[in-house]
Structure 1
Amino acid sequence: MAKPTVAIVFGGRSTEHGVSCVTAGGVLGAIDRDRWDVVAIGITREGRWTLASTEPGDWRIVDGAMPDVPRSHAVVLPPFEAGSREWRVVEDGTMRSLGEIDVVFPLLHGPWGEDGTVQGALELVDARYVGSGVLASAAGMDKQFMKTIFADAGLPVTPDVVVTPVHGVAAQRERIEALGLPVFVKPARAGSSMGISKVSSWDALEAAVADAQKHDPKVLIEAAVVGREIETAVLATPGGLLTSPPGEIITGGDHDFYDFDAKYLDEAAVTLLCPTSLEPAVAATVADYAKRAFRAIGAESLARVDVFVTDAGGVVVNEINTMPGFTTTSMYPRMAAAAGISYRELIETLLTVALERPVGLR
């Protein structure tokens, strides 16, 4: 029997382009080529869909530099109509068939990919894909609406103030200062800890907001929670939702928190404890909140849910990531491994479930 074909889609227009490329390299290196035919589709920073290399080594960090999808490759076109699985390539003015693609693995982070836009494009042609659908992806990307959904589901969240170009810092100064110091300033629709600042003096607030707005005009200013940062990997399987043991990230060196450099450029300064030590009742609450958060936004396939655990044992939901970092050293696969699921098995599960997912409204 012919092997099913999976398209690994990565890169994209967001500031997380390089992170997405590294994630793709990890998956390309681990996917079972005896089980799957693999096509790599890289989206350039300008939004051009191209036929890309399937060699994992082409998508690694070199001397601290993130990889980029080059512009010079053949352009890839999705199916022309719903129900067709045939993708095409246009090169030197000539169109040819890329063959039928059975399932898409969109390894995109940030806007124009993780936020429901690419998911919508795939839904238009009834393409099966790994990950959450349009609404869950959009809600999971926008921290303002994510927290609104969580609060409505009865999950505790951190207090925050939203700053936009229309409703800026000056107009909301009183509400912001009521949060108390320190606060975290975050782009509302970005990930990989890009543009996040910890503000311990109100004099630094304006600069922190300006830095966050380089990534997103909408910014969240959140009250800091004194406690431990705990993460849980959630995986949807035919038998139901699985959660990993709770993981805890310990940062050292010059990192005041788990920022971009700590995640991708200074792994020696980061320690993941999984399972980490929690009271059994607290660990049960963390797992319960992770599943409730997953269901609250209607997530599918996979997600990483991050919470704070206070000294008193309280649990506060921080966020959900519907397409977490997926390299071999990323926290999601490492937590899955602690649950007994290897990196290759994880990829196999995600693709197998996606291949059986119904198309159209569900």
Structure 2
Amino acid sequence: MNQKASNPIQVLLICGGGSSEHEVSLRTADFIERELQKCGDLQLTRVTMSAEGQLHDGSGKLRELRSDRLLYSSNGSAQPVDYVIPAIHGYPGETGDLQSQLEILGLPYYGCGPEASKLCFNKVTTKLWLSALGIDNTPYRFLCANTAEETAKARDALKRWGAIFIKASNQGSSVGCYKVTEEATLAQVLDKAFRLSPYVLVEKCLTVRELEVAAYTYKGELVITPPGEVCAPADTFYSYEEKYAENSRAETHVVAKDLSDAQLGWIYEASKRAFIGLQLKDLSRIDFFLTDEGDIYLNEVNTFPGMTPISMFPKMLQNQGHDFNVYLADLIRSAVNQTA
């Protein structure tokens, strides 16, 4: 069944959320809203989720999405919802929680499903799955508790590797990520990481080039772009602040230079294997490390990448010759027609 032009598709854009990435989620929603305003057959309603999970419209009025697939206002009026865009970085948008709710409501939505979102948001389970899929990833240990027995693994890794990254396993965009080079600071850093997550990842610190691939579905076909590159300042790693600050010193290149055909081929195959094996949907940004020795590791899979003015995903999609509004509108129309 085709949606009639006189009956536009009702799209609900949910942004904000209760994570430390609330403000970045608003900026991603700004981009998506601007793009979808170019599509005449889509009617967009935007709401912001508070830390308590409540939805508020632009006037601050409370809105509620119910099982009848209607968005209710506090005065009892309601409007239909055909499709949802959960533009929330971190919890509950990238953790699978919001997607599970939308599945229960029977609403089609943009992005990966609950299981894929949950797997990829947890850095430990991501690595276990990558290894199971035969995809190389950085040397690591993981800690399941902030106890002497477990933290001894981190001290051993620091002695063996010289420098390590301590990462809270259930955080996004470099939140809870710390570089450690001296044992004197290790306990304090572990305390910080465990306050953010029940599991902590310990990774070998490598000198690398940071490469990023956009993988997405365009008109029914999986597209994997050539890798772009993020060049962080030499005196720091690509932290949350460097990713999103307006005065960020990081440089980004939509197409990475000086990669061999073999390297490009491996990145493409690893990206495809990850997208299919992890059962991703609609979009992802897949990040790689290229070491000075020529080794390539898949670092992480981001199931809802940032879409701010400096974000790589929309830039790489555009460089591929695809308009973002055409890409997203096609996904929306296809999903709504399938459920009509």
The two structures share one fold, judged by TM-score above 0.5: yes
Q: Is 1:50 paired with 2:34?
A: no
Q: Specify which structure has the higher proportion of helix.
A: 2
Cα RMSD after superposing both structures: 2.1
Tell me the residue number matched to 1:154: 134
Alignment of 1:41-190 (within 5 A): 41-52=47-58, 73-80=60-67, 84-90=68-74, 94-97=75-78, 99-165=79-145, 167=147, 169-173=150-154, 175-177=156-158, 179-190=160-171
8 A Cα contact 2:155 2:183, kept in partner: no
Q: Secondary structure at the match of 2:45?
A: strand
Per-residue CA distance 1:63-107 (angstroms, 9 max, x = gap): xxxxxxxxxx22222232xxx4322122xxx3221x111110001
Q: Secondary structure at the match of 2:57?
A: strand
Measured after TM superposition, the shift of residue 283 of structure 1 is 0.9
Measure, in 2, the Cα distance between the counterparts of 1:224 and 1:350: 39
Tell me the residue number matched to 2:218: 237
8 A Cα contact 1:4 1:102, kept in partner: yes
Tell me the residue number matched to 1:60: none
Once the two structures are aligned, what percentage of the paired residues are identical? 27
Tell me the residue number matched to 1:282: 263
- Relative to structure 1, the CA distance from residue 143 to residue 87 in structure 2 (aligned partners, 3 Å threshold; closer, same or farther) is same
Q: Is 1:252 paired with 2:233?
A: yes
Unpaired runs of 5+ residues, structure 2, are 1-5
8 A Cα contact 1:150 1:157, kept in partner: yes
Measured after TM superposition, the shift of residue 268 of structure 1 is 4.8
Q: Secondary structure at the match of 1:345?
A: helix
Tell me the residue number matched to 1:270: 250
8 A Cα contact 1:115 1:138, kept in partner: yes
8 A Cα contact 2:209 2:231, kept in partner: no
Measured after TM superposition, the shift of residue 330 of structure 1 is 0.9
Tell me the residue number matched to 1:306: 287
Measure, in 2, the Cα distance between the counterparts of 1:162 and 1:243: 30
Measure, in 2, the Cα distance between the counterparts of 1:87 and 1:47: 15
Measured after TM superposition, the shift of residue 353 of structure 1 is 4.3
Amino acid at match of 1:301: D
- Relative to structure 1, the CA distance from residue 347 to residue 267 in structure 2 (aligned partners, 3 Å threshold; closer, same or farther) is farther
Unpaired runs of 5+ residues, structure 1, are 54-72
Q: Aligned to 1:7, which of 12, 18, 22?
A: 12
Measured after TM superposition, the shift of residue 291 of structure 1 is 1.3
TM norm structure 2 = 0.90
Measured after TM superposition, the shift of residue 33 of structure 1 is 4.8
Q: Is 1:38 paired with 2:44?
A: yes
Per-residue CA distance 1:163-207 (angstroms, 9 max, x = gap): 244556534345433651211111111112112111122222222
Amino acid at match of 2:32: V
Amino acid at match of 2:70: E
Amino acid at match of 1:236: T
Amino acid at match of 2:203: E
Q: Secondary structure at the match of 1:313?
A: coil
8 A Cα contact 2:215 2:222, kept in partner: yes
Measured after TM superposition, the shift of residue 275 of structure 1 is 1.1
Measured after TM superposition, the shift of residue 50 of structure 1 is 1.7
Runs of 4+ with >6 A deviation: none
8 A Cα contact 1:230 1:306, kept in partner: yes
- Relative to structure 1, the CA distance from residue 279 to residue 30 in structure 2 (aligned partners, 3 Å threshold; closer, same or farther) is same
